[in-house]
Structure 1
């Protein structure tokens, strides 16, 4: 009854508030954009204030509606089952005389209880993700407002110096990279007012999408607008997420007539177009025109920052169409990359200097650090000089063509990132990981069969005639075949003739992590199954070799669940009891080795794994007062809500040890609770 009377009623109320706020927001926006240029400043300011207030109320009601819907969806999954299972469990305790009959249902009852707990945790995780997304949206909106206010002053100067605006260079570089890889990415999407070409000149609100192939679309269908509006918050994100419109664009060439009739999707041809920064009617505000030989499009944005952003990115898309032909010519590629990346680096320095002064030289310093590592001056696969892409988990640098091949393998094999574009990825821990590895060492592992002495008795030749290593001019099909054989089938990895089992590999990697031998740990991951990163102490020491392993450790119950017990010397008989279930992550935390932790996590180690005491690596760091590693694990997705065998979460463990002096650690623990 509470679900029907309160939760569902709350959804209805939230929906009514949302509809009302959306109506008021639409009215305020229409009033604001309809102002003329000669309107007095105080009137413009008043209308702008009304627009901001209505927009804030709209966003608040929208988030309230989403939260209400999410709460209803979450409760649908577990509330009914939880009530029923709790009721049956109470009957089981009450009717002791009917134990024989109801006892048959006991396993099922506990299974349902387990399922409901998992459903509840899953629902809580979804709500946490939603809250983080909302917070990211608000933070990004505030950051965009600050950036837009700065970019308005700089755009006039940059246009006079660079012609089309500095942001167009970034769009050209980004679009060119994805055209070479055969991918289509969204550069910008959002709502604009479009003036009809009829005699009445009516304004209609359309949803526009600009992609990396230089194609500009706008949609008239209301359903398509709504789907696009949901992804609008990700327009300026550095990550490359595909929107729902990518499916439409991929089929557009085959069924353009179907798109225009059913989806009401129209295309603006930018190949022979130019852009003007004002409308024909000079009295109109926030307008710009796209002029082609066949038609002129007059568009109006919500504000000046959005107008300049559209102008710069459309200009960059037009420039990318001119440059795409040269990017496809092999004999011009090296020269083009050198000259073009100089412009792109100049743009990065100017733009990043506006947002964060210390990031101005980050791209250059990262490239310099990575290329000083042995073998990193050439692509690890084909030998192309000055590679600009990297595989984070494999620790190698790649050219743009080979990076596309690696990306097709999937992130479980290779996590591809750009050295130039993905600036936030290259934190000091990742750079330290690459310093320990590099192309030269990694290829000595993955291509060990090519380097091995054919007369050695310890080498097991799995391939009679290995696939030749690709060169710079080899076709993409040969690179795909070679990379797949190298990393997926592991045909070129040198294996010992004894062919040790999983337990032997587990013991070897345990020793490598214990002695902080990162290269040996990397080699063992390469020659064995990737699941070895989730090895535990139980895999290293068999039950037969440790007869006392199953006995309860001495001491109080509180001490037996102490996470710090996992850090004892594992060679002693006493510690073999306390090390049950300890993972490689527990051992790396004990050694205070952040780089080893990063390596294990890159290859898929379970960051929330529990030992026999129920303690996660985060519990261990908290118990050892290693705040640096604890914050590192929290940023990498560790869940502080997990309780150890003593029934304490990571936050409760930290508070049990005294006041938390590290404010950042406290915020991370409480925010994720």
Structure 2
């Protein structure tokens, strides 16, 4: 593209050149103003879009609760599941569109202003400075006296040099202006075209998504038409509802059946002997009533029933006429009596007649002649009994749902470390967070600690634990990708709540038996093919006779090691499994007198996807020979197993201990009454601490020295652990037996990072109290995010930041600011 002014005009510094310069500068300034306005409004649009996505995501998540309301309606439940999936996918597409807006419009236009327009503005100042120098040289040359040749010569030399500099500068300035003017159209249009293509992709993806579900929702629409017809028919039938009042009264008046239920006033036998209205009925020769009054039942819909008389065969009933209240009768047993009041004389007669018939029938037949007519009552009696999510799917077994084996799961349980399909995740939510904490792989923000837990476990490992005893004669139907919701619910409840398929903990006396023993083993295949494997009786007896009297938990090594040879006592079937490239977990004998828990899982290095080192801060010393903490068989139980696994941060064994029934509140009386969390802190593992906290282990428990987990992590200088505990709302003001709080320990050790964390947390709580709980301070959030990012990317550096001068200066500044 040619310049819009000749170079000769630039060299002459003509009025036309100056007009060109002024016009172009005004045009570029106008362009800059318009582009800045576009960037500002685009930023507003992106921010509002993110807020919309956030609210839309919350809206989609709220539909989960609505879906559970229709758990007994398969069509409605499935339709809601599909709709939720559609909304979540649309949110994902919208998120991608906003990301493209940031990458194209915001980034490209900002770069154009910064690299092009600002360069012209910067060179403008240089041009004006040189132009001013040229004007001064011209004036000085004109003022030089012809009678002073030396002065004339000096002025001429300065003018010549200044003129040359001006001409070169003018040409460069014209070059910058011309290039910006020629580049603005392709830069701006290409940027907007890229954004247009992103919009086209967004709408195309939405169209394809809707098209995929078009047939399904057409069928739903047809079903809705049928439901509307049923509703209209029901509405017509309900128009005669008031006619049932008379028929109900006539039925109750003429009834002679001993199957009766209804409200009666009951006189309390203790206290002020007040009257309360309760729902009574006859059931299996018993007189039963609801513990809740009629008004309360309307509000809460709870069921709680008590038996007034357990055996009507030993009771009599008679009317009561000597009291102040009408329609009363008395039920008398050999040990007590009950005064009841009906609502009318007819109901009094019905109740007395029904009770007498029930008593007579029970005496005559000595069998069950009275059963609850109300299904509600019968049930009441029975009632007494932003992550790299794609890489998660590369973990063994995670590419399919952990429970139904459906492909492409998009949900996860962060405390179990498994991936789930959308249908199974809904069932997991219904279990409650004390069993399963469900997160979306694609929509929820994933914290570093949660990612670490997921990386340590996975569907294969969990199924080897929770599906270890699934045999050919399993009484439950195994769920599939397209099974009914009732099948999923029954299976998941049996698997995680009842732990029906978990191998039982071998008892010490069984392991020490001289005849036979059964050792817990989880097959490397996992899932449906898993079973309990029995060791060869002769080999086991030989092993036990040689003095197998101890057990230990294998430390989870996260670096590559050569695979060890198994014990000669393994069966041929186990030798075949050894060739598989999938590690198995078991209680296996690694030498004749020692049972090593987790031996097979930890001898093979998994090729995990490198999204984050699962426990990269806890690998110190792994190249050194391992010294096992050997424990007598007499102390083999799930609690001590979890305690020792926490010490060596072996998550699969920790998970197995929980499945075997480890008590979350257990303390080791032989080790200062410390908890599992104390051991995880001492191991230096953030991941082990996070796993325990996700599974409900108490965070503020103290040992015999009054030390909490926060005390210990502060004393050890484990900054990442301190951050984790504070994030989980650990108490920072607990005093140990020697009167020290975690902050006192951090100050004594001159650990500026931990001092900062503790003081900021305390300050944030104080601000929250003053603001009546309006939320966390934004500065506090930013600092905590920085610590989280640092702990994730460079944990060792965070732990080793102990430069004395730096810490001392930071401590001084913190002390002054405090």
TM-score bracket for the superposition, by shorter chain length: 0.3 to 0.5
- Scaled by the length of structure 1, the TM-score of the pair is 0.42
Larger radius of gyration: 2
Greater relative contact order (CA < 8 Å, ≥ 6 in sequence): 1
